[in-house]
Structures are given as structure tokens and as C-alpha cells.
């Protein structure tokens, strides 16, 4: 494999691992970790594509910063929801009913 194939392949593998985690885990915190893995794989793909010259590097790096912003937003809100639910002892997503409006 050459220079850019390893990060390309790694980003696809990480995306699949993250999707697998979201679909198979029941714990809300572990699902959150899986979503972080998915977003991390996306940033890796963006930076790798910038290195190929096929895309504008500045645009791709800017998207990475926006993905970071979305990820931090998601972590903050989801951790608060997790703390909120942990008081009731229900962090199993199969049992959640209280998030309905």
C-alpha cells in the first residue's frame, strides 16, 4: 500500500466499526463513543482526500473544523442526557421512554 491508501482504508474500516457499535450496543455512553468514532473516521477521510489533490485542502480542513464543532455539540448534549437518565438508573436505550415529548 502506498502513502494515502492506509488512511483511506483505515477511515472506511473505522466507519464500519462505528456503525457496528451504534447498531449493536445498548449502553447510551457506548453508543456515544461509537458516534465519535464515526465522526473521527469522517475527518480522517476529509484530510486524506485533501492530500490527494482531488479536493481543495482548505475547504476540506474547514469541514473538519465544522465536524469537530458538531461532535463537541453532540457530546455535550448527549452527556447531559446521559447524566439526566443515570439518576433514574436507566441508560439502556431499549428501555428509554422519557425522551418522548
Partner 1 sequence: MTLLELTAAALAIGGALYAISAKRLMRGVLGLALFFVGIATFFADLGAWYLAAGQLFLFVGGVVTLFVLAFNAARTPILKAGIGGIIFAALVAVVLAMSLSALTAPVALSAAPPSLAEFGYAFFTGYGWVINIALLLLFSALLSAQYLLEDQ
Q: Which residues bind partner 1 (CB under 8 A)?
A: 1-10, 12-14, 16-21, 23-27, 29-30, 32-34, 36-37, 40, 43-44, 47-48, 50-53, 57-58, 61-62, 64-66, 68-69, 71-73, 75-77, 79-84, 86-87, 89, 91-92
- Kindly tell me which of 36 and 97 has the beta carbon lying closer to partner 1: 36
Q: 27 forms bridges with which residues in the sheet?
A: 92
Residue whose C-alpha cell reads 425522551 in the numeric block: 99
Residue 72 Cβ vs partner 1, minimum distance, rounded to whole Å: 7
Residue 59 Cβ vs partner 1, minimum distance, rounded to whole Å: 8
Instruction: Specify the length of the chain in residues.
Output: 101
Residue 45 Cβ vs partner 1, minimum distance, rounded to whole Å: 10
Share of the chain residues as helix, strand and coil, in percent rounded to the nearest 5:
75, 0, 20
Identify the CA nearest to 15 among candidates 33, 55, 42. 42
Integer Cα distance of 41 and 71 in angstroms:
12
Asked if 78 contacts 29 with a C-beta cutoff of 8 angstroms, the reply is no
Residue 101 Cβ vs partner 1, minimum distance, rounded to whole Å: 14
- Kindly tell me which of 3 and 97 has the beta carbon lying closer to partner 1: 3
Amino acid at each position: 500500500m502506498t502513502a494515502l491508501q492506509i488512511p483511506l482504508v483505515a477511515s472506511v474500516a473505522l466507519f464500519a466499526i462505528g456503525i457496528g457499535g451504534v447498531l449493536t450496543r445498548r449502553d447510551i455512553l457506548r453508543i456515544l463513543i461509537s458516534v465519535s468514532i464515526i465522526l473521527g473516521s469522517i475527518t480522517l477521510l476529509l484530510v486524506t482526500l485533501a492530500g490527494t489533490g482531488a479536493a481543495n485542502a482548505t475547504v476540506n480542513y474547514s469541514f473538519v473544523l465544522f465536524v469537530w464543532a458538531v461532535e463537541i455539540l453532540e457530546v455535550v448534549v448527549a452527556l447531559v442526557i446521559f447524566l439526566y437518565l443515570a439518576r433514574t438508573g436507566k441508560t439502556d436505550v431499549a428501555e428509554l421512554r422519557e425522551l418522548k415529548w
